[in-house]
Amino acid sequence: MKKSLQMIVLALALALTIGGCASKNDIEDVRAQNMEISAKADQAALDAQTAKSSADEAILKANEAIARAEAAEQRAIERERVADEKINRANAAFTNSMRK
């Protein structure tokens, strides 16, 4: 009885060991999944690089627009200053003409 029980336990342990090992198909499936995941990761990295390039280009265009806006603001300030000077000269001329 003891010997037959040992044989059953040994057979069960052997069956579990053999059944627990990965078959060649399982290994191939894991390799295929690994390759698929790797390909997806590579594509994601490429997409991220493309997005970064687009963002860098947008930042460059925004900086150029800011520079143009600042230059336009400086021109407007200068025009306003010139206009104020002309108004002051006109007022002075008017004041002088009223005195006479």
Between the alpha carbon of residue 83 and those of residues 6, 61, 70, 76, 90, the distances in Å are 110, 33, 20, 10, 10
**The amino acid at 34:** N
Residue, of 60 and 5, whose pLDDT is higher: 60
Using a 10 angstrom Cβ sphere, with 0-12 exposed, 13-18 middle and 19 or more buried, the burial of residue 4 is: exposed
- The string of pLDDT tens digits covering residues 27-81 is 888 899 999 999 999 999 999 999 999 999 999 999 999 999 999 999 999 999 9
What is the Cα–Cα distance from 45 to 39, expressed in whole angstroms? Answer: 10
98 pLDDT above the threshold of 80: yes
Q: Provide mean pLDDT across the span 16-30.
A: 73
In this predicted model, which residue has the larger pLDDT, 57 or 23?
57
Predicted local confidence at residue 26, as pLDDT: 76
Alpha carbons 35 and 66: distance in angstroms, whole number: 46
Place of tokens 């002088």: 96
